[in-house]
Amino acid sequence: MKVEPGVAVQVVGLSVGWSQEPLLVDLSFEVRRGSIFAILGGSGSGKSTLFRHLIGLEAPLTGRVEIAGVGDPLQARGRPRFGVLFQSSGLLGSWTLGANLELPLRRWTALEPEEREAVVCARLGQVGLCGYQNHLPAELSGGMRKRGGIARALVLDPELVFLDEPGAGLDPVTAAQLDDLILTLNRNLGLTVVLVTHELASIERLVEDCILLDREEKGILARGDPRQLRVESPDPRVRAFFQPETLSTPAVP
């Protein structure tokens, strides 16, 4: 299978799950190059499981994932062509932030130490962490660790990043700043962003295209621009996902 032009990630007939109990059945969708695409859904709907399949950490029951310039991420060997931010930031705790960012450069490039240092500095500058190279992750706030994780995801200059719950656990102001950073990277670098998120505010600010997963359906309940789905979807489950306040309105006695 070849990825269509203008497409960053193509998923065809993907079924995932365990033994007799598939979790998601026959998913097909594509992520457009240069877009900010979200995987949405209630708790337990399979977002993180799908995320792991997209980045090639797990093998599907059937179907496949193709990434432009990478092919099948399960088979991908060699220099990673996409960046990943794991939910916990994924920074190695006993290494300084600078050493964490340098690791992929040591592994995959022939840059000299001072050249690596310059790349690390530039990437940290991009996420507002200039001068924090010598800090350990534990010496940074949650929001700074997330930004550090994003800097590391960008260190090899990918065209595509996968972000798992980037705003989770952050206060609303810090989460909004992180969203601004993601938007800037998308607009200025043309970075394609695939993210898992729960946060309605982030969806509103960032997301132009999404899939909404549903556990009962074992698949995609809705696909498209969340702003449109929220008001135009004929499915009340979809409108309720985007407007949960309508569900919590107390009944008039």
Ligand X SMILES: Nc1ncnc2c1ncn2[C@@H]1O[C@H](COP(=O)(O)OP(=O)(O)OP(=O)(O)O)[C@@H](O)[C@H]1O
Interaction of residue 166 with ligand X, rule CB under 6 A: no
Residue 20 binding ligand X, by CB under 6 A: no
- Determine how β-strand 192-196 pairs with β-strand 219-224: unpaired
Choosing from 11, 14, 36, 49, the residue that interacts with ligand X (CB under 6 A) is 49
Of 31, 46, 66, 210, the one binding ligand X (CB under 6 A) is: 46
Contacted by 44, from Mg ion, ligand X, none: CB < 5 to 8 Å by type: ligand X
Q: Does 18 bind ligand X (CB under 6 A)?
A: yes
Q: How far is the CB of 171 from Mg ion (least distance, A)?
A: 21
Query: Does 59 engage in binding with ligand X (CB under 6 A)?
Result: no
Report the distance separating Cα 89 and Cα 166, nearest Å: 8
Number of helices (H), then strands (E), belonging to the chain: the values are 9, 9
Whether 36 contacts 185, CB under 8 Å: no
Using CB under 6 A, pick the residue from 2, 5, 20, 43 that binds ligand X.
43
Which residues are within 8 A (CB) of 154 and not within 5 positions of it... i.e. 6 or more apart? 83, 123, 126, 161, 185, 191
80 binds, among ligand X, Mg ion, none (CB under 5 to 8 A by kind): none
User: For strand 219-224 and strand 209-214, is the pairing parallel, antiparallel, or unpaired?
Assistant: antiparallel
The contact set with Mg ion (CB under 5 A) reads: 47-48
